[in-house]
Chain A
């Protein structure tokens, strides 16, 4: 049973526009959420996180929004750049101690020049 789901396997966006990547979860007890970015032939790298007590966290061009009532979070990239083309995974703690993560299936973002 997947606790974190990314329903869009891919997304294509024009350079300079906004990219919105979505993630849904089932466990209302998650304390925090993370987004990872993965380039081909590399491991995932941490991008941004958000605590469950917040509804927004911003870091440069990247902003994550959390809607607890809808059990939904989204990653906004503005403006999108070709170098942002990658697979993006959302993740949440898989156990109470928070030392294991469960990942969504990923969304492949393609930013066209």
Chain B
């Protein structure tokens, strides 16, 4: 198994542009999480899906952020419009039942 796959690994964009981050979870893992890591706030949960359904999005910073999971093997996190303060490393993680979460390698986003 290739583990959690995230793309792109690095993204540099200009303020105001739309950014789409992608995640392919481990096959069969029915829970998916999007996290953001910054120096100031550490690792914070943005949104959690279970069986493709968003369960808790209380961590999503504001309306500029949206996430979808159209099927069990794909999820996106979109930022529109992006701002410099969105610069961070974004992680996708997945989980099977009660087991621990497995993280992807992350997408390092820089908004200029």
The DSSP consensus for interface residues of chain B is strand
The chain A residue with its CB closest to the CB of B104 is: A43
Q: Is the CB of A34 within 8 A of B48?
A: no
Q: Is the CB of B42 within 8 A of A44?
A: no
B25 within 8 A of partner (CB): no
Complex Cα gap A36–B56 (Å): 22
In this complex, how many residues of chain B approach chain A with their Cβ under 8 Å: the count is 22
Complex Cα gap A105–B43 (Å): 7
B4 within 8 A of partner (CB): yes
B71 within 8 A of partner (CB): no
Return chain A residues, CB-CB under 8 Å to B82: none
Return chain B residues, CB-CB under 8 Å to A36: 103
The chain B residue with its CB closest to the CB of A6 is: B42
0/1 per residue, B70-109, Cβ < 8 Å to A?
Answer: 0000000000000000000001010100101111111000
